[in-house]
Amino acid sequence: MTRLAPVSTPGSSSDEQDRSSTAARGDAAGRSAALEQQLCDVRERAHKTLQRAVEAEQRACAGERRIDALLRAMDTRGPIDQAKGVLMAVFGLEPDAAFDALVWVSQNANVKLATVAERFMLDVVGLDLSVNPRDEVTYLLARIGQVHGAYFS
């Protein structure tokens, strides 16, 4: 087979065509590289935005947990303070010592402090404190502390 020579048109040469096609390929490669860089930038911004959203969600969840804990503390504070007051009045204890006594009973019974305080207040109402209040309250605390949770069921 014989090979045909490229046809040149008037006013252009084969070198000019080669240069223009090379320039076109270079422009396309440059545009492609620019688009790839823009895509990388968009991905990076999206990743940072997603990361900030996840961190905000984690902070919101932590805040909700703190609010729940504070609400539980507010709900249980009344009975605990009442039980402390009874122990302070009966035994002449300081507030911290009365609280420590309730904590000790709670830990021995393996029951939450608020539950111990609520049950203590329910039972102390039925006690006859006119004769010997110290013995009655001591017996009640000992009974709560020794039962190890069965007292609360």
Question: What does the domain layout of the chain look like in residue ranges?
Answer: 15-152
Are 6 and 14 in contact by the 8 Å Cβ rule? The answer is yes
Instruction: Give the pLDDT confidence of 89-145 residue by residue, as tens digits.
Output: 999 999 999 999 999 999 988 889 999 999 999 888 888 878 889 999 998 888 887
Per-residue model confidence (pLDDT) at position 20: 63
Per-residue model confidence (pLDDT) at position 70: 83
Instruction: Give the pLDDT confidence of 3-36 residue by residue, as tens digits.
Output: 655 555 555 556 566 666 666 666 777 788 888 8
Instruction: Give the pLDDT confidence of 51-90 residue by residue, as tens digits.
Output: 999 999 999 888 899 888 888 878 778 899 999 999 999 9
What torsion do the CA atoms of 65, 71, 76, 81 make, to the nearest 10 degrees?
Answer: 120
Per-residue model confidence (pLDDT) at position 86: 94
> Tokens 């065509």 belong to which residue?
17
8-state DSSP, 152: G
Note the pTM of the prediction, 2 decimals: 0.55
